[in-house]
Amino acid sequence: MNDIKVTFTIVTLKHEPQIDISGSYENVLKIYIQVLLAFGAKCGVDESGIMKCQGERFQKYSQNIKENLSHLMVLSSNNAIGQLYNIFKQMDFGDPFAFFPQPLTVDEISVVREEMIKRYLGPQYENYKSYYDNIWKNITNNYNITHYENGHNTISSIGEKGKSKRICRFCGLKIPETTFNNKSHSISEALGNKNIITNDECDACNAFFGKNIEIDLINCLDFFRLFYGIQGKGGKKKFASKDFEITKDNIQNELLLKIQEENIALEDKNKIKIQLKHPQKINWQNVYRTLVKYALSVCNESYLQNFKETIKWIKSDFSCKELSWVTILATNKTSKSFPEISVFFRKNENTELPYSFMVLEINGLTFIALIPLSSKDNCNFNSELDFNRFWELLKPYNQNPILKRFKPLADEAKEFTYDISFEQRNEHKNNNA
C-alpha cells in the first residue's frame, strides 16, 4: 500500500511549527490517534461504526501533556514524535497553544493566534490589542510588509522555481550565461538560517556575496553567535584571538573567558572592564551591504526595479559616501535559534519617509537599516532631522536599548573592539556586552 502523510500544526504565541507524519496507512493512523490522545482528545466509535475524535483546540501546556508526550516518546520511534516533544520542551507550563491536525495557511495562523491571545489574556485583551495596534499603526498605515521567519520544519523558496526560467535578481543573467546549482540562502547560514532560500540568486552572485560582504557581518557577530548559541554551518564553539579565548560550556550554559591581564581594567572595586580586540578587521559598509542584500533576497521581484543603484552598491561596484545610520538594538532573548526578517515598502507617495527599510532579528539582537539608493527616495536620510522622523515611526522597536549605531562612510576594514563590563552584584556576576 502507498505511503500517506498527515500534518499537525501547533500555533504558540511566537511560532507555528508543522509536523508531518508519513509512512504506511496503518502506522500513520496509529500515531495520529496516539498524538490526539496525548492532547486530551476523546476518541471512540459511534453507532454507525465511524471513528470520531474530539478535542480542545485551544489549550495550555501542562504537566499532564508533558507526561503524555514523554510516554509517546517511549512508545514510538517515529521522527515526528521527537519533533513534537522538542517543540513542547521549550515551553513553560501554562503557555497557551492551539493544536490542529491539519496544515494551516499564513492567514489562518494569524486568525488562530489572535483568538489565542484573546482567550489567554481574557479581559486584558482589548488593552493589549489597542496598545499593539497603536504602536504599529504608523508603520502599517504607510508600509507593506514582507516577513520571513522559518523554523526547521518549513522551507520558503523565494522566486522562480523552474531553473531554466530563472533570471538572477542581482546580475540579470540566466542559464547558460550563469548557473543555479547551489542553494542560495537568503540570510547567511552562519546566522542560523537553514530554510529561507532565494531561487533566483545565481551561483556566481551567491559566491561573491558570501566571500566579500557577508563575512563582515558574520565576523562582527562572532561573540554573539557564541553567546546565544546560534547554530550556523558547523556550529560555533570557540571565539579566540592571540589575546583571549572564549569557549562555551553548554552543560553549565556558561561562557569561559581566558584573557591577557593587560586587557582588563578595574573601574572600581565592583566593576571590571574588558576589551576584546576582534582578530579580524571589519568593514562596516559591508555589514550594511549584507543587511540590504538579505532584504533584496526575500522581497518580491517586482520591487527590485526601484533598487538598481542599490544592487550595484551591494555588489561593491562603488562606495557610498551618503549612507544613513544602521542601528543594532538589544532585544529580549528568545528561544528561537533562527533569524527572522521583515522588509517594509512604502505604499504611498510620502517621500518624507524612506521608501524601504529592513529589520533583521537574531536571538536577542535586532538590526534596523534603511535600504539606500532607491529611485523612489528624494533624500538619503543621512541628516539627523530626516533620520529622526523615520526613527519616530518605529515604535514597536525603538523602545529597546541601542547597542550600537553606525554610519559606515569609510568603505574599508577597520579594527573592532568589544567593550564588556562585568559587575559584581550580590553573588552573581552579570555582564552587559
The residue ranges that bind Zn ion (CB under 5 A) are 168, 170-171, 202, 205
The total number of residues shown for the chain amounts to: 433
SS3 84: helix
Nearer to Zn ion, 201 or 386 (CB): 201
Residue type present at position 380: N
Q: DSSP alpha helices (H): ranges in 282-343?
A: 284-298, 308-314
C-beta of residue 171 within 8 angstroms of C-beta of residue 178: yes
Nearer to Zn ion, 168 or 215 (CB): 168
Nearer to Zn ion, 174 or 225 (CB): 174
Round to whole Å and give the CA distance between 338 and 90: 14
CA-CA distances (angstroms) from residue 306 to 70, 198, 309, 359, 372?
53, 19, 8, 19, 11
CB of 205 to Zn ion, least distance (A): 3
- Exposed, middle or buried: residue 251 (CB in 10 Å: 0-12, 13-18, 19+)? exposed
C-beta of residue 214 within 8 angstroms of C-beta of residue 293: yes
CB of 167 to Zn ion, least distance (A): 9
CB of 57 to Zn ion, least distance (A): 46
Nearer to Zn ion, 169 or 248 (CB): 169
CB of 387 to Zn ion, least distance (A): 32
Instruction: Record the cell numbers describing residue 97, joined without a space.
Output: 497553544
Instruction: Record the cell numbers describing residue 283, joined without a space.
Output: 568593514
Nearer to Zn ion, 205 or 298 (CB): 205
Nearer to Zn ion, 170 or 344 (CB): 170
Q: DSSP label at 195?
A: S
Phi, psi of 124 (to 5 degrees): -75, -10
CB of 168 to Zn ion, least distance (A): 3
Phi, psi of 75 (to 5 degrees): -70, -35
Buried b (16+ CB within 10 A) or exposed e, 363-376: bbbbbbbbbbbbeb
Nearer to Zn ion, 293 or 346 (CB): 293
CB of 413 to Zn ion, least distance (A): 25
CB of 158 to Zn ion, least distance (A): 15
CB of 170 to Zn ion, least distance (A): 5
Round to whole Å and give the CA distance between 329 and 364: 8
SS3 51: strand
Nearer to Zn ion, 36 or 168 (CB): 168
End-to-end CA distance of the chain: 58
CB of 411 to Zn ion, least distance (A): 22
CB of 98 to Zn ion, least distance (A): 42
Residue with cell 483568538: 115
3-state secondary structure 178-246: CCCCCCCECCCHHHCCCCEEECCCCHHHHHHHHHHHHHHHHHHCHHHHHHCCCCCCCCCCEEECCCEEE
CB of 201 to Zn ion, least distance (A): 6
Instruction: Record the cell numbers describing residue 31, joined without a space.
Output: 500515531
Q: Pairing state of beta strands 326-330 and 428-432?
A: unpaired
C-beta of residue 138 within 8 angstroms of C-beta of residue 395: yes
Nearer to Zn ion, 169 or 225 (CB): 169
Residue type present at position 341: I
